Amino acid sequence: MNSPVPFWVVIPAAGIGQRMQADRPKQYLPLKGKALIEHTLDCFLQHPDLRGLTVCLAENDAWWPQLSCAGDTRIQRCIGGQERADSVLNGLSALLEQGAQAEDWVLVHDAARPNLARSDLDKLLQALADDPVGGLLAVPVRDTLKQVDANGRVTNTPDRSQFWQAYTPQMFRLGALQQALSAALAAGSSITDEASAMEWAGQAPRLVGGRADNIKVTRPEDLDWLAR
Ligand code: CTP
Ligand code: MG
């Protein structure tokens, strides 16, 4: 039996899904009878140690109010920002207003990752419960990697064993993450995930090996694969 690890959740969902080329932001595309984001939310809402959850939505989002989960009082909403990191920062502020404390654990998880397994969520929580920094789910790169020049010609084959793909959830102390994200953004650093903000602040997040099927829906074929 796992010991409880209370946690808060931020779901950045303010992107437009440009690479998906669909008629709506990808988090609202249908998958197995409901919207993709509803699958994403379910994994957290079913967890007994969840303290609170906020979704970061685009300012003029007309899709969210149409979902049945829009009426779920456990879900708080906040406005997203220009970049994913801006959306996450707004989400962290919303959680603090909801009563979260700076030392509490917060998990940031992409709205576009609907296939998170409960076993992976529990694995992350248990692996990091006593960690001084926090960390993230990740998967070792499976294919040989190629470095290319501007003409698309291979210049190098780096040692694959050193590379992992960064997945979400990413789990950090709320206050430390807020400080790291704010400082990195203020310095003009390009921040594509929470871990890179923590790295920027001099910390070394821990990787926790996860399932490869916790994919981020990015291109049309990703949704075909999940719907199979
Ligand atoms: N996201 C966000 N705020 C932004 C940009 C992205 O909350 N300003 C969210 C997306 O909604 C998504 C997650 O961050 O759930 C991961 O981003 P990504 O996969 O890049 O989604 P999009 O930005 O929507 O897709 P694309 O880059 O193809 O436009
Ligand atoms: Mg994007």
Q: What's the pLDDT score for residue 2? A: 82
Category of 188 on φ-ψ map: left (φ > 0), alpha (ψ -120 to 50) or beta: left
Q: Is residue 1 domain-resident? A: no
Rounded to an integer, what distance in angstroms lies between the CA atom of residue 19 and that of residue 36? Answer: 16
Mean pLDDT of the chain: 97
Q: What's the pLDDT score for residue 32? A: 96
| Pair of tokens at residue 148 | 């290319």
How far, in whole angstroms, is CA 164 from its chain's centroid? 16
* Ligand 1 pocket residue status of 83, Cβ below 6 Å: yes
Residue 89 near residue 185, CB atoms below 8 Å: yes
* Ligand 1 pocket residue status of 52, Cβ below 6 Å: no
Q: Is residue 2 domain-resident? A: no
Q: Domain holding 85: CATH number?
A: 3.90.550.10
Rounded to an integer, what distance in angstroms lies between the CA atom of residue 36 and that of residue 39? Answer: 5
Each residue of 154-212: pLDDT tens digit? 999 999 999 999 999 999 999 999 999 999 999 999 999 999 999 999 999 999 999 99
Q: 52 in helix, strand or coil?
A: strand
Q: Is the pLDDT of residue 151 over 80?
A: yes
* Ligand 1 pocket residue status of 218, Cβ below 6 Å: yes
Q: Is the pLDDT of residue 1 over 80?
A: no
112 Cα nearest atom in ligand 1? 15
Q: Which ligand is nearest to the CA of 15?
A: 1
Residue found by looking up tokens 């576009």 in the block: 112
Write out the residue range of the structural domain in which residue 183 sits.
Answer: 7-226
Q: What's the pLDDT score for residue 17? A: 96
Model confidence at 60, pLDDT cuts 50, 70, 90, reads very high
Q: Is residue 180 domain-resident? A: yes
Q: How many structural domains compose the chain?
A: 1
Q: Is residue 119 domain-resident? A: yes
Q: Is residue 49 domain-resident? A: yes
Model confidence at 3, pLDDT cuts 50, 70, 90, reads confident
How far, in whole angstroms, is CA 202 from its chain's centroid? 21
Residue 64 near residue 41, CB atoms below 8 Å: no
Residue found by looking up tokens 């399932």 in the block: 211
* Ligand 1 pocket residue status of 61, Cβ below 6 Å: no
Rounded to an integer, what distance in angstroms lies between the CA atom of residue 83 and that of residue 81? Answer: 6
